[in-house]
Amino acid sequence: MSDPTSSELPNTAEAGPLSYAIFQLARTHRAHAAGMLRAMNLHPGQELLLMQLFDHDGRTQAELLERAGLDHSTVSKSLRRMQEAGLLTREPASHDRRVMVVHLTDAGRALQEPIADMWRTLEQVSVRDLTPDQIQAFTTCARIIEKSLRDHSRQPPGE
């Protein structure tokens, strides 16, 4: 069995070693986080929506979509599942019945500290072999790469 931490790149990825490393990192990080979320009966991405509601309960579904950076179908499906689990309620806005306003229930609010603990633990595991300077440099580089990708995806095709 091969070592999943091996630095050997597939031949096809040799032209993009950074992109391949990002892919491998994101996949591994997401899988680790998913295991931690399962312990709270949550699916990946649901914690991002809950965190937005912890900061400001009563956001609209559209605000959650924008702030969490998830696609429409993922947000709709996640909110439906969380409503069925008793973590939140959705109701039409008084000013426009087509707009859905999302509120936490007591059960949803009770997840704030467990989710904060989960993120703290995930951070500790992720950076345990890095220095504070490496953490800062990585975070800065990750944000620059994310912005570059976002900016590129906004450009019209052919530019």
pLDDT by residue (tens digit) across 17-66?
Answer: 999 999 999 999 999 999 999 999 999 999 999 999 999 999 999 899 98
Q: Note whether 91 and 57 are within 8 A (CB).
A: no
Band the pLDDT of 1: cuts 50, 70, 90. very low
- Read off the pLDDT of residues 105-147 as tens digits, 9 standing for 90 and up: 999 999 999 999 999 999 999 999 999 999 999 999 999 999 9
Ordered structural domains, the chain, with CATH? 17-152 (1.10.10.10)
Q: pLDDT value at position 84? A: 97
Q: Note whether 75 and 61 are within 8 A (CB).
A: yes
Give the integer Cα–Cα distance in Å for 63 and 67.
Answer: 6
